Structure 1
């Protein structure tokens, strides 16, 4: 198999560029011959957008050789969960049972998270993909999703629901399942703080889950030149060097496993992903 992981969960503070990183990881695996599912857990459209897909749905859509794209919406995920995991007949998933379960998912702990995360983990469990890349919820929310199977297991001692919670937790934490949590952060105070809090939480709650921290939009160094009244770009260059120096300090604190360069002067999402692709290939 061209990849070493079965599942990449890509998280990061909002605005960190996690969707672009997830897209680059999916494209990288697909170009090496893997059969890849890129799945957006938040139905925000960020991941499909960065892959140049205008109309992604719950059903995986083949967008290029080896690459499929899907977006999770809660109604479809809930319907599939009831049908596949709870053996509720398809006709019944649009009736009162769904409405009752939907109300439960809005109030009971971990139900909403288990339905969404469960879709991703089910795609890993049932096979058919060399790699599943999920554009996951942001760093502030991801602990609730990771802990959802254990929360359910604490509430339900036996039966089908407990069995489901156990295999979901195993995919997340069993080294043989090859799950990787990719945490994307900008080299700024708040993103670095959230990321270090998340990694500390993982060390305590999920010490076995493999994770990699990625610093995104890292500014390239500029050569030092003598200031001149006749060079109009002096101010911009000085600002660039000041920001780069600040990033260097936050990088020392974060100690990222990988750094991705800032893609300057480019606003097209697909072009940004194309630039990142050359970088993630080296991981």
Structure 2
């Protein structure tokens, strides 16, 4: 079973490319489900079929759905409401009703991600293709399992004995979120496809997103440059001159984009809007050619590695850092807090480094190198 997550800056065509990928996989005999977690819910427009919160058939091997947090709360998650109600009561808070639950920060994203995982694990599908929201929302979505699980784990140990049942529920929820994270960070199962248009501002955001996803230890399968202007090879006139100039600008953006080991797919701007499975299959042919859309990019080096250097130890964080990245590094107890362009992650330091202090930190395009020296009495 594979899970493919499509994301990118709003308006770059991620929904259409997710739908095209799903249509191609279904056409090749894979039992495929394509779902949207994007609040805009334009997947139905791309497929030219009405969609609801439950998977419905689009073609023989293709099903599709819109995941809606409000529907999940109202119909699919009575047990969650009961647990959260008991949790709130244990803390002396009023019980939450369904309307209040949907406006709690992060709950809708957590429910959407949990529903994606549930659908992926039913065994009904060979592939689940996810049309995620725009990049910023997707990064928040993918960060939630680790962030909430870590918070609950810390909060659980602080709860007094009278709240042991609440602590147990917190532990259960933390374990559930850890399970979600294991799904997201397994490169054999889950891959992200970053969609962008070849413009400098969009490419800059794509580079930042690559670094942010690497920081979360989430595998990026491919980059997709969408809507390239076709080459006007033998055309003449003002329109042809404009096309050549615009394509030259796009090629310059792509040549400056360091993708490392991440494959880059190019898709030219089509003359017609791809709506419906027939048009989407044609688009998928432009995207993949005769390649397998499920090809897994071999994982690169681990996010974190440690090597001894005399009495010191060098900790290497392998990240594709843009030259303009804003970095911040801090030691918080036995954790290392890393912030890259506003995206922060706490990384638990190995016990080997607990009695050490940070002396030097250096960055280059391949990542971050931090030197730890033993503390002297």
C-alpha distance in 1 between matches for 2:102 and 2:16: 30
* Contact 2:194/2:220, CA 8 A, preserved across alignment: no
Q: Distance in 1 between matches of 2:27 and 2:95?
A: 40
1:107 maps to what in 2?
104
| Aligned Cα root-mean-square deviation (Å) | 2.4
**In the alignment, which residue of structure 2 is the partner of 1:166?**
178
**Cα drift, residue 73 of structure 1:** 1.6
For residues 80 and 194 of structure 1, the distance between their equivalents in structure 2, rounded to whole angstroms, comes to 37
Name the TM-score, length of structure 1 as normaliser.
0.83
Partner of 2:243: 240
Q: Which has the larger displacement, 188-197 or 252-261?
A: 252-261
Match for 2:255 among 237, 252, 256? Answer: 252
The 1-side partners of 2:74 and 2:149 are apart by 22
Q: Is the helix fraction higher in 1 or 2?
A: 1
Give the distance between the partners of 1:7 and 1:116, measured in 2 at CA.
14
Contact 1:111 1:148 in 2 (8 A): no
Q: State yes or no: 1:275 paired with 2:267.
A: no
1:45-85 deviations in Å (ceiling 9; x for gaps): 321211121x20001111110111101122112245524x6
Give, in whole Å, the separation in 2 of the partners of 1:234 and 1:98. Answer: 69
Helix, strand or coil: the match of 2:251? Answer: helix
Q: Which whole-Å deviations, capped at 9, do the CAs of 1:94-139 have from their partners, x for residues lacking one?
A: xxx995354244234x322111111112111232110001110111
- Mapping of residues 58-97 of structure 1, within 5 Å: 58-79=53-74, 82-83=77-78, 86=80, 88=82
Does the 8 A contact of 1:38 with 1:70 survive in 2?
yes
Size of the aligned set, in residue pairs, is 259
4+ residue runs over 4 A deviation: none
Q: Which residue of 2 aligns with 1:220?
A: 230
Q: Which has the higher contact order (CA 8 A, sep 6+)?
A: 1
Alignment of structure 1 residues 1-283 onto 2, 5 Å: 6-53=2-49, 55-79=50-74, 82-83=77-78, 86=80, 88=82, 100=97, 102-108=99-105, 110-157=106-153, 158-176=170-188, 178-206=189-217, 208-223=218-233, 234-254=237-257, 255=259, 257-264=264-271, 266-270=272-276, 272-279=279-286, 280-281=288-289, 282=291, 283=293
Q: CA deviation at 1:268?
A: 5.0
Structure 1 residue matching 2:130: 3-state secondary structure: strand
The normalised TM-score by structure 2 is: 0.63
